[in-house]
């Protein structure tokens, strides 16, 4: 299922059962770029990433195509950065039951001060039941960057919300693909290496790979369907050569 507002370039596509990709093209790099949010529709709906503050109107309108915005319960994000959580307080203002979900370190260093309501910090390995979907938090410091970085995985659909991992350029990529995305992401990284290259990078990616995701929900570019364990291990090998 997909939709696009004729007055907006933002599109919404269901990439897994109950999981919708919201994608807005940007012109921040030559050839185009996308900023994606992911909406899990359930009894306690969760939005992963908010987009930048100035994107709030289009993100809000996109969410409303799928469900009432004021029904949002959780607003999760990987790390403290404008495209991850810049519109957090705007969304909190229109979703009175919603709380931010982040790592304990992110809450301590930034979010408890930034957010207009107290956040819901998640410990490594902690789960959150949304209804049919159950998500698990994975601490991943410095992967690819950000001391407080982490990810969530949906146990129900085997979807890993992998943030900046496997970032791809392009103004209008497919919502979800089974084609190679590691090659395009390495082209992007060659131009602008956004990885911290921490000493435990391979181990952290290996841990994410062991969750055996079937869908990789990428923040920039196409989401990917297939053997996520294999692809993540290929990424780890590329980074540690």
What is residue 5's predicted lDDT score, i.e. its pLDDT?
A: 47
What is residue 30's predicted lDDT score, i.e. its pLDDT?
A: 79
pLDDT digits (tens, 9 = 90+) for 209-226: 999 999 999 999 999 999
**CATH number for the domain that contains residue 184:** 3.60.15.10
The rounded distance, in Å, linking the Cα atoms of 85 and 46 is 14
Residues 10 and 22: beta-carbon distance below 8 Å: yes
Q: Which pLDDT band holds residue 7 (cuts at 50, 70, 90)?
A: very low
Can you point out the beta strands (E) in 131-173? 134-139, 150-154, 159-161
pLDDT digits (tens, 9 = 90+) for 156-203: 999 999 999 999 999 889 999 999 999 999 999 998 999 999 999 999
Maximum Cα–Cα distance across the chain: 48
Q: How many domains does the chain have?
A: 1
pLDDT digits (tens, 9 = 90+) for 53-105: 999 999 999 999 999 999 999 999 999 999 999 999 999 999 999 999 999 99
Residues ≥6 apart with Cβ < 8 Å to 113: none
Q: Span 126-140, mean pLDDT?
A: 98
Q: Span 116-143, mean pLDDT?
A: 98
Peptide bond between residue 6 and the one before it cis (omega within 30 degrees of 0): no
Among all chains, which residue has been given the structure tokens 């007055």? Answer: 7
The rounded distance, in Å, linking the Cα atoms of 167 and 216 is 11
What is residue 129's predicted lDDT score, i.e. its pLDDT?
A: 98
In this structure, what DSSP letter does residue 209 have? H
Q: Which pLDDT band holds residue 8 (cuts at 50, 70, 90)?
A: low
> Is 104 strand, coil or helix?
helix
What is residue 171's predicted lDDT score, i.e. its pLDDT?
A: 86
Among all chains, which residue has been given the structure tokens 């919502």? Answer: 175
pTM above 0.85, yes or no: yes
Range of the domain at 221: 2-239
Tokens of 3: 């939709």
């Amino acid at each position: 299922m997909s939709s696009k507002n004729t007055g907006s370039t933002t599109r919404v596509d269901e990439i897994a059962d109950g999981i919708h990709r919201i994608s807005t093209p940007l012109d921040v790099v030559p050839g185009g770029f996308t900023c994606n949010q992911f909406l899990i529709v359930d009894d306690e709906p969760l939005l992963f990433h908010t987009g930048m503050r100035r994107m709030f109107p289009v993100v809000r309108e996109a969410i409303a195509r799928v469900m009432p915005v004021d029904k949002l319960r959780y607003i999760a994000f990987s790390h403290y950065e404008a495209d991850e959580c810049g519109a957090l307080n705007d969304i909190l203002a229109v979703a009175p039951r919603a709380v931010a979900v982040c790592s304990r370190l992110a809450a301590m260093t930034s979010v408890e001060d930034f957010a207009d309501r107290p956040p819901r910090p998640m410990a490594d390995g902690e789960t959150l039941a949304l209804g049919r979907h159950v998500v698990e938090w994975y601490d991943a410091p410095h992967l690819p960057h950000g001391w407080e970085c982490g990810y969530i995985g949906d146990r129900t659909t085997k979807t890993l919300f992998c943030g900046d991992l496997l970032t791809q350029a392009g103004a209008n990529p497919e919502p979800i693909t089974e084609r190679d995305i590691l090659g395009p992401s390495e082209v992007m990284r060659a131009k602008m290496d956004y990885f911290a290259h921490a000493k435990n990078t391979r181990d952290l990616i290996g841990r994410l790979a062991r969750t055996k995701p079937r869908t990789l929900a990428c923040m920039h570019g196409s989401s990917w369907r297939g053997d996520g364990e294999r692809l993540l291990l290929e990424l780890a090998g590329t980074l540690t050569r």
